[in-house]
Chain A
Amino acid sequence: MLSRPQMRARRMRIVLLLATALVLAAPAAAQAFTVYGAASLSSAFPQIDGSPKYNFAGSNQLQLQIERGAPADLFASASPAEPAALFREGKCSRPVTFATNVLVMVTPKSNPAGLHSVYGLRTGRHRLAVGTAGVPIGAYTRQLLRRMQLTSILSTNTVSLEPNVNSIVAKVGLGSADAGFSYFTDYLAAQNRLRVFRLPTWAQPPVRYQMCVVKRPGADTASANRFMQRVLSSRGRSILMRFGFGLTPRR
């Protein structure tokens, strides 16, 4: 039988062991899971859930990073093309649509070029900020311009090609471009610096946001699934709506 001091020492050792185990385990448990999101979600997503580590960029860049093994747990894209490609490659769960958007033309608040509509760009010699062809905002913009028979404005104006929608809005907001094409939600987020011009409904491409849980060794699938549920919840949907997104009917 152990004496009282021996028992106390043994208890101390157990407590110390437990404490050490807890200290060692804590960083792993507290390590945030990572959400790779389209740049246009950079205002809304942190409001839905502040705990993940976010990486916002052009959806095509994020897709490429995930394909190369980047430590993403959830991928949210501004177009179905990127998650669909990852799903086909077995690197992502079946994508889920969670929001919609529309395209608008934005100018600096002061509108120094005096534009009244997108058709004003036909005169040429303006500075335009447009997404690259590979990023969803760039692909959508080109689709809209093809439908409106306005693709010529990409050659008659001075066009700066931007990697994501945040760069377009920043460039126009700073007055480095006379106009740019962005999502309606990005205009809302920067409306103190921008003026908006609606684009025809009939020519709008369908802008659909999709997300999927990334499949890779060591992925935090449970947290990614919880995040997905948060986005699809009533609270998540009302936050998305507050930021100007459209919502698809509940599944």
Chain B
Amino acid sequence: MAEIDRAQFLRLGVAGVVGTVGAGLLAGPASAALPTPAPKGDDVGFLSFGAVAELTSRAWYGRALTTKGFSAGERRRLQQARAAKGDHIARLNTALAADAIQPGDFDANFPKGAFDTRARALALGESIESLLVSIYLNGAAFATDSATRLLLGRLLTYDAQQLAWMRVLRGAPAASGLPVPLSLEQAGASLDRVITTPNFPT
């Protein structure tokens, strides 16, 4: 077996480190690349409802940031969540393609006084996040396309955490039993109470 000197040994060591780091860098994005949703049949319903409800939720986070009573830490989380909602909308709209929901398609129309106090704001925010969790749960179970199910499952995970955080903020247990999947008919009736069609007499 040929002997190697100290310089060769060091060169091999450097090559090994570079190779390991490089392979890691290349493998990272590959393992993070998730399948692109290609909604089929009724899948569009879950995604469309999600996009409209996420737009409404983002509007809620925006209003909550102007509500008194939230600590600095809570405000930071509200801001992070608002940004995350923007990302959710973009992901849902990418999946919806031609059926994408635009911000101008709906107006959030929250009840009068809903942001007068922290408690009221949280109650409203919790109801919107609950709707999202219930529909994502339904979609994660029953969407036809597996990549769409995966996207809905990921969104469900995030919104369930937000829902738990809001419950804790108002002094309730993080979870009150298992969430129940809702049909679009049921969830839609609730969502319609806080949105309107822009520029159209109601």
Which residues does A use to contact B, with CB under 8 Å?
A: 100-102, 119, 143, 146-149, 151, 200-206, 241, 244, 246-249
Q: Could you tell me if B45 and A246 are in contact, using CB atoms closer than 8 angstroms?
A: no
Q: How far is the CB of B140 from chain A (nearest CB, A)?
A: 15
Q: How far is the CB of B55 from chain A (nearest CB, A)?
A: 10
Q: Could you tell me if B45 and A146 are in contact, using CB atoms closer than 8 angstroms?
A: yes
Cα-based distance from A14 to B136 in the complex (angstroms) = 85
Residues in A with CB closer than 8 Å to B201 are 241, 244, 246
Residues in A with CB closer than 8 Å to B189 are 200
- Chain B: interface residue count, which band? 20 to 34
Cα-based distance from A213 to B49 in the complex (angstroms) = 37
Cα-based distance from A205 to B189 in the complex (angstroms) = 17
Q: How far is the CB of A77 from chain B (nearest CB, A)?
A: 17
Q: Which of B61-69, B98-106, B146-154 contacts the other chain?
A: B98-106
Partner of A148, one of B41, B105, B184, B199: B184
Q: Which of B32-72 contact A (CB under 8 A)?
A: 41-42, 44-45, 48-49, 52-53
Partner of B41, one of A100, A102, A151, A247: A151
Partner of B197, one of A143, A201, A241, A248: A201
Q: Could you tell me if B195 and A201 are in contact, using CB atoms closer than 8 angstroms?
A: yes
Supposing A143-B99, A147-B99, A201-B197 touch, asked if A206 and B48 sit within 8 A by C-beta, the answer is no
Q: Could you tell me if B45 and A147 are in contact, using CB atoms closer than 8 angstroms?
A: yes
Q: Could you tell me if B199 and A202 are in contact, using CB atoms closer than 8 angstroms?
A: no
Residues in A with CB closer than 8 Å to B48 are 146-147, 202-203
Which residues does B use to contact A, with CB under 8 Å?
A: 41-42, 44-45, 48-49, 52-53, 99, 102, 104-106, 184-185, 188-189, 191-192, 195-201
Q: Could you tell me if A201 and B199 are in contact, using CB atoms closer than 8 angstroms?
A: no
Residues in A with CB closer than 8 Å to B52 are 202
Q: How far is the CB of B190 from chain A (nearest CB, A)?
A: 10
Q: Could you tell me if B192 and A201 are in contact, using CB atoms closer than 8 angstroms?
A: yes
Cα-based distance from A249 to B185 in the complex (angstroms) = 32
Q: How far is the CB of B38 from chain A (nearest CB, A)?
A: 15
Cα-based distance from A84 to B104 in the complex (angstroms) = 19
Q: Could you tell me if A147 and B195 are in contact, using CB atoms closer than 8 angstroms?
A: no
Q: Could you tell me if A202 and B45 are in contact, using CB atoms closer than 8 angstroms?
A: no
Q: How far is the CB of B195 from chain A (nearest CB, A)?
A: 5
Cα-based distance from A88 to B49 in the complex (angstroms) = 32
Residues in A with CB closer than 8 Å to B45 are 146-149
7 smallest A-B Cβ distances: which pairs? A246-B200, A149-B45, A149-B42, A147-B48, A246-B199, A200-B188, A202-B52
Q: Could you tell me if A201 and B99 are in contact, using CB atoms closer than 8 angstroms?
A: no
Residues in B with CB closer than 8 Å to A101 are 200
Chain A residue at smallest Cβ distance from B200: A246
Partner of A204, one of B99, B102, B185, B197: B197
Cα-based distance from A244 to B191 in the complex (angstroms) = 24
Q: Could you tell me if B188 and A203 are in contact, using CB atoms closer than 8 angstroms?
A: yes
Partner of B44, one of A147, A244, A247: A147
Residues in B with CB closer than 8 Å to A102 are 197, 200
Interchain residue pairs with CB less than 8 A apart (18): A102-B197, A146-B48, A147-B45, A147-B99, A148-B184, A148-B185, A148-B188, A149-B42, A201-B196, A202-B48, A202-B49, A202-B191, A202-B192, A203-B48, A203-B188, A241-B201, A246-B198, A246-B201
Residues in B with CB closer than 8 Å to A119 are 185
Q: How far is the CB of B193 from chain A (nearest CB, A)?
A: 9
Cα-based distance from A222 to B91 in the complex (angstroms) = 46
Q: Could you tell me if B192 and A206 are in contact, using CB atoms closer than 8 angstroms?
A: no
Q: How far is the CB of A156 from chain B (nearest CB, A)?
A: 14
Supposing A102-B200, A148-B184, A246-B197 touch, asked if A206 and B99 sit within 8 A by C-beta, the answer is no
